[in-house]
């Protein structure tokens, strides 16, 4: 954690810039990979930068029936809250800008803020399409929060069962990788929990097959149908930053290893190696949880989204938690 105010501000600016740039690159990478998997050429890697630059040059159109102040404030809150999530997550070999004993719980709450801002903007637009999209976003958010909570609780419980203090601290998880605390049965449970978290990720990002709030073929863009110009650019940036945040959360929970430290490399070279490894890991997570899933599957209906998370993934998550608990009990005996 950064202590002094100037260093804190500098760290916040660097994290914001890094998250926006990497988020846009991940969006470009996703489009290229999806195109190649569908036997298309696809756009260049920098296409999201071009799209954002065009949108920022256009004016905001506010619908006649909208609530203007809330309609314009929603994308700002969405982007700011998405960036704030990364203040609590380790990036490469660098410590998070902010940290505390329960920062993992705080991250879970912060993950809901961009979605809530999106909902508020949809309702404020006054469009019936956006209203339906906002309702779907709320239902989707309620659905995926349960399996996400199971994953977090399972990892924190295993740390606490090992007698480690502050189990909800990401610094604690990084210092005590959970894979080293479990036996074969627990490893299977952790693998199930990892798969659950990877499937939660596309819903957090409103990507296929969980993009029911937008659903262009059904709702003409849904929750974002009335947004344009700079406001739409901010929501697009939010999706990129949140992609980095979700991938970083997966890495922080399940792969909190510093390769440079393991190899005995320190200093600037070690920092560069850890940063490159981190970028490779979050790219791999984004590829598996976003690109592969959206190419392989069609959009779910909203009732199917709820069933997937509240029934199938919830059962899978509880099974993973149970395996971790049984593994710990057998280890004690």
Consecutive 10-residue averages of pLDDT for the chain (333 residues): 74 92 95 91 92 92 89 94 93 82 89 93 89 88 92 94 90 89 93 95 87 69 84 94 95 87 77 90 94 86 88 95 92 56
Six-digit token string for 231: 């406001």
pLDDT of residue 132: 86
Quick check: helix, strand or coil at residue 205? Answer: coil
Per DSSP, the chain holds a count of helices (H) and strands (E) of 14, 0
* Residues 18 and 91 sit within 8 Å (Cβ to Cβ): yes
Closest residue by Cα to residue 149 from 327, 285, 317: 317
Signed CA dihedral, 41, 45, 47, 50: sign only:
negative
Task: Please tell me the predicted confidence (pLDDT) of residue 251.
Answer: 94
Joined tokens for residue 64: 């006649």
What pLDDT is attached to residue 26?
95
**What is the predicted pLDDT for the residue at 333?**
41
The sign of the torsion formed by the CA atoms of 46, 245, 252, 9 equals positive
Please report the pLDDT score of residue 219 as a whole number. 59
What Rg value do the Cα atoms of the chain yield, rounded?
A: 20
Predicted confidence at residue 93, as pLDDT, reads 76
Q: Nearest CA to 273 among 281, 27, 23?
A: 281
Q: What does the longest C-alpha to C-alpha distance in the chain come to? A: 68
Give the whole-angstrom CA distance, residue 152 versus residue 42.
Answer: 36
φ, ψ of residue 266 to 5 degrees: the values are: -125, 180
* 128-161 helix and 184-204 helix, angle to the nearest 10 degrees: 160
- Collapsing DSSP to helix, strand or coil, 41 comes out as coil
Residue 127: strand, helix, or coil: coil
In the chain, what are the domain boundaries?
Answer: 5-332
In sequence order, what are the residues at sequence separation of 6 or more whose Cβ sits closer than 8 angstroms to the Cβ of residue 72? 60, 62, 231
- Among 135, 147, 141, smallest CA distance to 310 is for 147
- Tokens of residue 187, six digits: 């490893």
For residue 126, report the phi and psi dihedrals to the nearest 5 degrees.
80, 5
pLDDT at position 320 is 96
* Closest of 206, 200, 195, 223 to residue 145, by C-alpha: 200
Quick one: pLDDT at residue 327? 92
- HSE value, Cβ hemisphere, 13 Å, CA-based, for 316: 22
pLDDT given at position 53: 95
Give the global pTM: 0.92
């Amino acid at each position: 954690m950064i202590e002094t105010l100037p260093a804190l501000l500098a760290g916040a600016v660097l994290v914001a810039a890094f998250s926006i740039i990497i988020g846009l690159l991940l969006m470009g990478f996703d489009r290229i990979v999806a195109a190649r998997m569908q036997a298309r050429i696809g756009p260049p890697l920098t296409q999201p930068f071009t799209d954002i630059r065009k949108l920022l040059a256009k004016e905001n159109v506010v619908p006649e029936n909208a609530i203007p102040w809330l309609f314009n404030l929603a994308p700002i809150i969405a982007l700011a809250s998405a960036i704030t999530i990364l203040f609590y997550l380790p990036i490469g070999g660098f410590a998070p800008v902010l940290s505390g004993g329960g920062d993992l719980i705080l991250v879970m709450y912060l993950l809901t803020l961009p979605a809530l801002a999106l909902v508020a903007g949809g309702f404020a637009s006054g469009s019936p399409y956006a209203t339906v999209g906002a309702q779907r976003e709320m239902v989707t958010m309620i659905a995926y929060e349960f399996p996400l909570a199971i994953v977090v609780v399972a990892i924190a419980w295993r740390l606490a069962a090992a007698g480690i203090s502050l189990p909800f601290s990401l610094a604690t998880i990084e210092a005590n990788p959970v894979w080293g605390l479990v036996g074969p049965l627990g490893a299977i449970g952790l693998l199930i929990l990892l798969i659950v978290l990877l499937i939660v990720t596309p819903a957090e990002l409103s990507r296929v097959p969980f993009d029911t709030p937008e659903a262009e073929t059904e709702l003409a863009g849904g929750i974002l149908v009335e947004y344009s110009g700079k406001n739409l650019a901010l929501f697009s940036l939010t999706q990129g930053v949140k992609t980095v945040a979700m991938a970083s959360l997966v890495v922080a929970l399940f792969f909190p290893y510093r390769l440079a430290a393991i190899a005995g490399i320190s200093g600037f070279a070690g920092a560069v190696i850890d940063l490159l490894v981190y970028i490779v890991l979050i790219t791999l997570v984004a590829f598996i949880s976003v690109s592969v899933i959206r190419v392989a599957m069609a959009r779910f209906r909203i009732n199917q989204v709820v069933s997937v998370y509240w029934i199938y993934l919830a059962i899978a998550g509880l099974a993973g938690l149970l395996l971790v608990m049984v593994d710990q009990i057998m280890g004690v005996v």
